[in-house]
Amino acid sequence: MSAPVFKMLTANRLRDGDVLYRKGGGWVLTLAEADLYADAPAAEAALAQAEAELAQNIVVAPYLFDVRQEDGAVRPVKEREIIRAAGPTVRPDTGKQATA
Amino acid sequence: MNAPFPAPVAPNMYRYDEFDARFVSERVEQFAGQVARRLKGELTEDQFKPLRLMNGLYLQLHAYMLRVAVPYGTLSSKQIRKLAHIARTYDKGFGHFTTRQNLQFNWIKLVDVPAILRELAEVEMHCIQTSGNCVRNVTADQFAGATPEEIEDPRPLAEIIRQWSSLHPEFVFLARKFKIAVGATPHDRAALQFHDMAVEVVRNAEGRTGYKVLAGGGMGRTPYIAHVMSEFVEREDILAYLEAVLRVYNQDSRRDNIHKQRIKILINAIGPEEMRRRVDREFQELKRMGTLQLPREELDRITAYFAPPAFETGLPDTLPEAGPDFANWTRTNVHPHRAPGYAIATITLKTIGQVPGDCSAEQLDVIADIMDEFSLGEVRVTHEQNLVLPHVRKKDLPAIFAKLQELDFAAPNAGLITDIIACPGLDYCDLANARSIPVAQAIARKFADLDRQHEIGELKIKISGCINACGHHHAGHIGILGVDKKGVEFYQLLLGGSGAEDASIGEIMGPGFGEHDIADAVERVVGVYLAQRRPEERFLDTYRRIGMAPFKQAAFQKEAA
């Protein structure tokens, strides 16, 4: 049986486009530090709050995505989010993986 | 110590006049103001998005991406050095040549964009018409002005189309993007028949030079081969004719469904005959008004920018001998030139294992040096994500090859199975469903043996990471389309496509293959070709003769076992 699916919230930073993840009422640079939402209402509330904050011009295009927690590590369900969290698989010297 | 920097050479290409310089400069400052307003919150993202797209700025998977226009694929060494500087200063030290002869930077910060655009303007470059629902940057045969095959250099016409289409008040807000390509040879290197509109320089029965116009080609979700709109348009009428096609498209295209907004959908809905009738009606009206006639003196004025360089005479016209590696390179990467003693040299950005089309700042700088020293300061970008030195002396080819070897850009594979087109795919692109680049790398490694590549001969593999088809998978002899299957990357095979003068749309084989199986499936398909081909048959010829069945059977052999 596969691990249960949680939600996380992500967006891009307006000024440089960097990928950010939601933690508390703010944003962090890495997926590992971000908040995990165990149920849909919590995830939707976080998204609604982020959308309400768009006028502050910190981030653009917030959205929720699915993750699984396996052996203490959080891993996105879709390949797209795995790559977005790390960087291009063909250029390990770039993206967040370069400084991990 | 390094050799001294060669002085930049000014090649024969279009140079901005006062109007161009002011237009680009004003556009840069306009967008700089829009960026400032966005950062201050005076523009919302919904308001800003169409503005940034009109300036080539996308928000991709990891960062902003800035697409720089390379009109008809022609670049000077000065421009190449500027691109290297931008890569080094504002990006992560590299750029990516695209399948529309442009260059894109993948790691751009919004706050830096005004400064980058100002730097580009210094060398007569910009990002206009590289995005959005407008007439996009015009593309052309990369051998233009150099190949002995052509009737005349098509770039003056490409430049005239650029000037006509930039900020054309009727065509700023089209239903969708509109791509135009030009060529002037029977051998089509510019994929003319897969463009929204294409112009081929031709001669009529009386020996007069004019233009054949095609429209309605395209890839994407619904691929179509273009239809001939007119077999022969007189020189002075060409802008009126192109305007007539665009006017019919603009008036009659569907704007209610994003998947049905391209001109290919319109033409195939009403039929090419009806489209020709509507275009002709508009054309006659434009001719009657007489406002869009192309004066001979204007054509001559633009053509003068592209006048053939002063080629040296008395040069040796044979290829030098410089060892087997050099001989292999000349076999595929060197083509005949119009001037005795000269050749056209292709630099494939496809060294085995490389990201197709990527070029580092350091490599760009060295290429600029090579351009100045050996190619009259000029390079061309190809839609196959390679570079071309259009005017090199045959006697210099060994020295050029040696410098390319140092750069790791001396792969002798132009047109062979490892010269693969691949879009950025899911490694970079926000729209992609699957990665393209690792698949290209895996296939290139599998066929790395050069003798094997030569045994296979011409075979064009083209890979797209989604249905938008930036990697031209519909036009690949072997096409590969990445799809998302419940969050996992999956790859469909297509066979029998061609983007050349024998254009055809590839046929989908059937169910797809997993990431780790696709390269093996391609190898089995190639095996069928090698077993069944007749003398002189390319892969494409064999496929057209024997059909899909034997290839499909072999491709799925492992799965069936």
Number of A–B residue contacts, CB under 8 Å: 80
User: Percent of chain B, pLDDT > 90?
Assistant: 92
Identify the CA nearest to B519 among candidates B546, B487, B480: B480
Window 16-75 of A: residues touching B by CB (8 A cutoff) are: 16-19, 54-57, 60-61
Mutation target to probe the B interface, by most B beta carbons within 10 A, among A2, A53, A65, A79 is: A79
Tokens 């006659």 found at? B284
Least CA distance to B59: which residue of chain A?
A: A17
Higher pLDDT, B214 or A1: B214
Q: In what order do the strands lie in the sheet with B57-59?
A: B57-59, B64-68, B103-108, B94-97, B358-360
Q: What is the pLDDT at residue B7?
A: 65
Q: Which helix (H) or strand (E) holds B402?
A: helix B397-407
State the nearest Cα–Cα gap between B437 and chain A, in angstroms. Answer: 7
CB atoms within 10 A of CB B170: 11
Confidence at residue B290, expressed as pLDDT on a 0 to 100 scale: 87
Mean pLDDT confidence for A40-57:
96
Q: What is the ipTM of this complex?
A: 0.96
| Statement: residue B560 has pLDDT above 90 | no
Min mean pLDDT across B176-190, B196-210, B288-302, B335-349 is at B288-302
Comparing alpha-carbon positions, the chain B residue that sits nearest to A56 is: B41
Query: What are the φ/ψ torsions at residue A11 (nearest 5 degrees)?
Result: -165, 175
Percent of chain B with pLDDT over 70: 98
Nearest beta carbon to residue A90 from set B61, B111, B437: B437
- The domain locations on chain B are 154-304, 421-560
pLDDT of residue B559: 53
Q: Would the CB atoms of B62 and A19 count as touching at under 8 Å? A: yes
- CATH 3.30.200.100 for domain B421-560: no
Q: Which residues sit opposite A37 in a β-bridge?
A: A7
The mean pLDDT value of chain B amounts to 95
Q: What is the pLDDT of residues B420-431, one digit of tens each?
A: 999 999 999 999
Task: Please count the helices (runs of H) and the strands (runs of E) in chain A.
Answer: 2, 5
Mean pLDDT of B154-176: 93
Residue B408 corresponds to which amino acid?
D
Would you say residue A100 has pLDDT above 80?
no
What's the rounded Cα separation, in Å, for the pair B115 and B113?
A: 5
Which residue in chain A is spatially nearest to B63 when comparing CA positions? A17
> Model confidence over B387-399: pLDDT tens digits?
999 999 999 999 9
Span B312-341, average pLDDT: 97
Cβ contact, residue pair B63, A80, below 8 Å: no
Asked whether the predicted pLDDT for residue B189 surpasses 70, the reply is yes
DSSP for B293-360?
---HHHHHHHHHHTPPP---SS---SPPP--HHHHHHHHHHEEE-SSTTEEEEEE-S--TTSPTTEEE
**Interface probe, candidates B37, B39, B61, B91, chain A, greatest A C-beta count within 10 A:** B61
What's the whole-number mean pLDDT along residues B486-514? 95
Residue B201: helix, strand or coil by DSSP?
strand
Residue A49: DSSP 8-state: H
Put simply, the answer to whether B62 touches A84 (Cβ < 8 Å) is: yes
Residues in chain B closer than 8 A to A93 (CB atoms): 92
Q: pLDDT tens digits for B242-275?
A: 999 999 999 999 888 888 999 999 999 999 999 9
**How far apart (Å, rounded) are the C-alpha atoms in residues B367 and B350?**
15
- What does the pLDDT read at residue B557? 87
Q: Band the pLDDT of A1: cuts 50, 70, 90.
A: low
Look at residue B6 in the predicted model and tell me its pLDDT: 58
Q: Is B438 on the interface with A (CB under 8 A)?
A: yes
Per-residue confidence (pLDDT) for residue B184, from 0 to 100: 97
**pLDDT on residue B1:** 39
The mean pLDDT of B103-109, rounded to a whole number, is 98
Q: Do residue A90 and residue B438 have CB atoms under 8 angstroms apart?
A: yes
- How buried is A1 (Cβ within 10 angstroms: 0-12 exposed, 13-18 middle, 19+ buried)? exposed
Identity of residue B430: D
Q: For B355-372, write each residue's pLDDT tens digit.
A: 999 999 999 999 999 999
How far apart are the C-alpha atoms of B484 and B432, rounded to whole Å? 9
Is A2 or B349 the better-scoring residue by pLDDT? Answer: B349
Q: Which CATH number fits domain B154-304: 3.90.79.10, 2.102.10.10, 3.40.50.300, 3.30.413.10?
A: 3.30.413.10
Asked if B40 and A56 come within 8 Å (Cβ–Cβ), the reply is no
Span B111-129, pLDDT tens digits:
999 999 999 999 999 999 9
pLDDT for position B3: 46
Asked if A77 reaches chain B (Cβ–Cβ under 8 Å), the answer is yes
pLDDT over 60 at B155, yes or no: yes
d(CA B475, CA B485): 23
Task: Look at residue B2 in the predicted model and tell me its pLDDT.
Answer: 44
